[in-house]
């Protein structure tokens, strides 16, 4: 019997997993593998740690179904080549990834095996719609979200798939490495003590989380999603990041109950579409992950201010909402979407620090890190991204606090600035690393940069920059 290899990557689930389902259909023995390569080892501390939990959970789930997950380490091509040779594998299956490096690697591996008579089949398991499927009337790709969204909403999104009904084990299993030896938690150190309290790991947990959201919170989503003092968002980004749930599953489950005419559910699936849009842009324009989407921004005079950067990272800028957000990020591995915009705006506008410094810190801290969404978000706020967003749209942290956290519930939960505390707030505060902790009255009395001054300075910098560009072009 020939063996089918299923190479799992960012699709750590059993249901709606096209590669896994197709590979199991033939009735041939199935070899589900995960490969730790150098690139994965270099990913962010929180993401890597959380990845380990996901792998553990996936293995558990597979074992309940009579099979297992094989963990292997090395360069993917080499690892696969050995498996093909040693275990008489005849076919390879995977779900596609859309960053440039993965595409390059996968294309190479695919052609390597196909000329040797080993077919490789790849599937859409990550997005609602593969990136090449949507085009404007003139045949180019969308650069603006709203038209993209309208086009996507017109499409028939493929139904999500069932779990494989049976998975046949190979006669002999390759030796799996031990997760513990991969030390996926080594960069996070003691941070995991904080993070563990908030994660919901694996496919089952993701489903429960989603059902709870559908049941209790989606009906208020449109109005409450921006509120920081309530827990109204779905929190599914964490599970989506590892593929523990698929966007198609979410899309169809929502639309089974609600229609797109309903404000709440429309707004929610719109957010899913943003995730698709980020990967869509990444596919059509790979440089978006690391470079300014608008190349003229390459000349923007960001300041190098490592002291301010560190204070931003540790949440001691002296701007309460910013600092609360940065501490939420550190102790929970996530941050409310609106606060992401506020802290990003403060870094790039008030502090005039290059958005890539912020992007990298987020990549190191987020357990829901998604390279495409992260890059799109940062570029959007910075003004270098694919959006007509004018630079003068500078978030005012105080005003944002008033609007979205009027009683300061969020801020005091993560930041110790007052003497009175709720229990939960104290708990969060205690999670912050000791060297970050502030003694009594040590919280900055003045922000690093005064809000008014910072805003004016940012506007001036932008206006200068524009002037130079115009004179630069004409001279």
User: Of 196 and 399, which has the nearer Cβ to DNA?
Assistant: 399
DSSP secondary structure of 298-344: GG------HHHHHHHHHT-SS-HHHHHHHHHHHHHS---HHHHHHHH
Among 85, 140, 471, 474, binds DNA (CB under 7 A): 140
User: Of 5 and 341, which has the nearer Cβ to DNA?
Assistant: 341
User: Of 164 and 377, which has the nearer Cβ to DNA?
Assistant: 377
Residue 245, Ramachandran bin (φ over 0: left; ψ between -120 and 50: alpha; else beta): beta
User: Of 145 and 182, which has the nearer Cβ to DNA?
Assistant: 145
Name the one range near DNA by CB under 7 A: 105-113, 242-250, 251-259, 375-383. 375-383
Nearest to 149 by CA among 259, 338, 278, 340: 278
Q: Kindly state whether residue 471 participates in binding DNA, applying the rule CB under 7 A.
A: no
Q: Kindly state whether residue 143 participates in binding DNA, applying the rule CB under 7 A.
A: yes
Binding characters for DNA, 268-307, by CB under 7 A (x = yes): --xx--x---------------------------------
Q: Is 4 helix (H, G, I), strand (E, B) or coil?
A: strand
Q: Are 101 and 130 in contact (CB under 8 A)?
A: no
Q: Kindly state whether residue 403 participates in binding DNA, applying the rule CB under 7 A.
A: yes
Name the one range near DNA by CB under 7 A: 133-141, 173-181, 322-330, 432-440. 133-141
Q: Kindly state whether residue 137 participates in binding DNA, applying the rule CB under 7 A.
A: yes
Q: Kindly state whether residue 399 participates in binding DNA, applying the rule CB under 7 A.
A: yes
Name the one range near DNA by CB under 7 A: 33-41, 82-90, 196-204, 394-402. 394-402
Nearest to 75 by CA among 34, 38, 110: 38
User: Of 117 and 390, which has the nearer Cβ to DNA?
Assistant: 390
The Cα–Cα gap between 160 and 402 comes to 41
Q: Are strands 70-73 and 3-8 parallel, antiparallel or unpaired?
A: unpaired
Among 1, 144, 231, 257, binds DNA (CB under 7 A): 144
Minimum Å gap between C-beta 288 and DNA is 13
The Cα–Cα gap between 106 and 122 comes to 9
Could you tell me which residues come within 8 angstroms of residue 355 by beta carbon, excluding any fewer than 6 positions away?
A: 344, 347, 348, 378, 379, 381, 382, 384
Minimum Å gap between C-beta 381 and DNA is 7
Name the one range near DNA by CB under 7 A: 10-18, 107-115, 318-326, 384-392. 384-392
Q: Are 88 and 117 in contact (CB under 8 A)?
A: no
Q: Kindly state whether residue 394 participates in binding DNA, applying the rule CB under 7 A.
A: yes
Q: Kindly state whether residue 350 participates in binding DNA, applying the rule CB under 7 A.
A: no
Among 108, 150, 290, 418, binds DNA (CB under 7 A): 150
Nearest to 381 by CA among 348, 339, 338, 422: 348
CA distances 382 to 289, 292, 343, 393, Å, are 14, 10, 11, 10
Q: Kindly state whether residue 410 participates in binding DNA, applying the rule CB under 7 A.
A: no
Minimum Å gap between C-beta 447 and DNA is 13
Nearest to 391 by CA among 345, 429, 328, 358: 345
Among 136, 171, 295, 422, binds DNA (CB under 7 A): 136
The Cα–Cα gap between 123 and 108 comes to 16
Q: What is the DSSP letter of 288?
A: G
| Separation of CA 165 from chain center | 31
Q: Kindly state whether residue 469 participates in binding DNA, applying the rule CB under 7 A.
A: no
Minimum Å gap between C-beta 348 and DNA is 13
Q: Kindly state whether residue 450 participates in binding DNA, applying the rule CB under 7 A.
A: no
Q: Kindly state whether residue 337 participates in binding DNA, applying the rule CB under 7 A.
A: yes
User: Of 137 and 419, which has the nearer Cβ to DNA?
Assistant: 137
Q: Kindly state whether residue 220 participates in binding DNA, applying the rule CB under 7 A.
A: no
Q: Which helix (H) or strand (E) holds 71?
A: strand 70-73
Q: Are 149 and 134 in contact (CB under 8 A)?
A: no
Establish how many alpha carbons lie within 13 A of residue 38's alpha carbon, considering only the half-sphere containing its beta carbon: 5
Q: Kindly state whether residue 463 participates in binding DNA, applying the rule CB under 7 A.
A: yes
Q: Are 52 and 158 in contact (CB under 8 A)?
A: no
Strand order in the sheet with 30-36: 70-73, 30-36, 3-8, 89-95, 120-123
* Interactions with DNA, residue window 48-77 (CB under 7 A): none
* Number of residues in contact with DNA under rule CB under 7 A: 40
User: Of 147 and 189, which has the nearer Cβ to DNA?
Assistant: 147
Q: Kindly state whether residue 222 participates in binding DNA, applying the rule CB under 7 A.
A: no
Q: Kindly state whether residue 322 participates in binding DNA, applying the rule CB under 7 A.
A: no
Q: Which residues of the shown chain bind DNA in the complex (CB under 7 A)?
A: 136-138, 140-148, 150-151, 226, 270-271, 274, 337-338, 341, 376-377, 380, 387-390, 392-396, 399-400, 403, 451-452, 455, 463
């Amino acid at each position: 019997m020939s063996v089918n290899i299923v190479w799992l990557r960012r699709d750590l689930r059993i249901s709606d997993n096209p590669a896994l389902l197709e590979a199991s259909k033939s009735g041939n023995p199935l070899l589900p593998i995960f490969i730790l390569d150098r690139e994965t080892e270099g990913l962010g501390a929180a993401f890597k740690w959380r990845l380990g939990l996901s792998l553990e959970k996936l293995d558990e789930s597979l074992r309940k179904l009579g099979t297992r997950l094989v963990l292997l380490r090395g360069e993917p091509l080499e690892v696969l080549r050995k498996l093909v040779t040693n275990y008489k594998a005849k076919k390879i299956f995977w779900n596609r990834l859309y960053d440039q490096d993965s595409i390059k690697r996968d294309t190479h591996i695919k052609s390597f095996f196909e000329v040797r008579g080993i077919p490789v089949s790849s599937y859409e398991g990550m997005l609602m719609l593969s990136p090449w499927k949507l085009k404007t009337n003139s045949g180019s790709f969308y650069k603006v979200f709203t038209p993209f969204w309208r086009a996507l909403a017109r499409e028939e999104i493929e139904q999500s798939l069932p779990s494989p009904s049976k998975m046949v084990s190979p006669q002999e299993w390759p030796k799996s490495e031990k997760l513990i030896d991969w030390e996926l938690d080594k960069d996070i150190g003691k941070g995991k003590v904080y993070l563990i309290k908030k994660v919901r790991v694996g496919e089952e947990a993701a489903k429960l989380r989603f059902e709870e959201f559908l049941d209790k919170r989606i009906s208020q989503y449109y109005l409450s999603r921006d509120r920081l003092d309530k827990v109204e968002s779905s929190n599914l980004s964490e599970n989506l990041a590892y593929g523990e749930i698929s966007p198609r599953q979410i899309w169809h489950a929502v639309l089974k109950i609600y229609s797109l005419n309903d404000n709440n559910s429309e707004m929610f699936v719109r957010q899913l579409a943003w995730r698709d849009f980020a990967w869509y842009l990444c596919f059509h324009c790979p440089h978006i992950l690391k470079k300014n989407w608008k190349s003229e921004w390459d000349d923007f005079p960001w300041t190098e201010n490592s002291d301010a950067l560190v204070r931003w990272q540790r949440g001691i800028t002296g701007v309460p909402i910013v600092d609360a957000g940065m501490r939420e990020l550190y102790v929970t591995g996530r941050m409310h979407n609106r606060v992401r915009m506020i802290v990003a705006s403060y870094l790039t506008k008030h502090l005039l620090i290059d958005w890539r410094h912020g992007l990298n810190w987020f990549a190191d801290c987020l357990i829901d890190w998604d390279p495409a969404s992260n890059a799109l978000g940062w570029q959007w706020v910075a003004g270098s991204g694919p959006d007509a967003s004018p630079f003068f749209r500078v978030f005012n942290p105080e005003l944002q606090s008033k609007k979205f956290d009027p009683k300061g519930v969020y801020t005091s939960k993560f930041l110790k600035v007052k003497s009175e505390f709720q229990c939960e707030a104290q708990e969060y505060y205690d999670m912050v690393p000791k060297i970050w902790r502030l003694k009594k009255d040590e919280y900055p009395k003045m922000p690093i940069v005064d809000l008014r001054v910072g805003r004016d300075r940012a506007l001036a910098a932008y206006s200068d920059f524009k002037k130079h560009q115009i004179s630069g072009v004409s001279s």
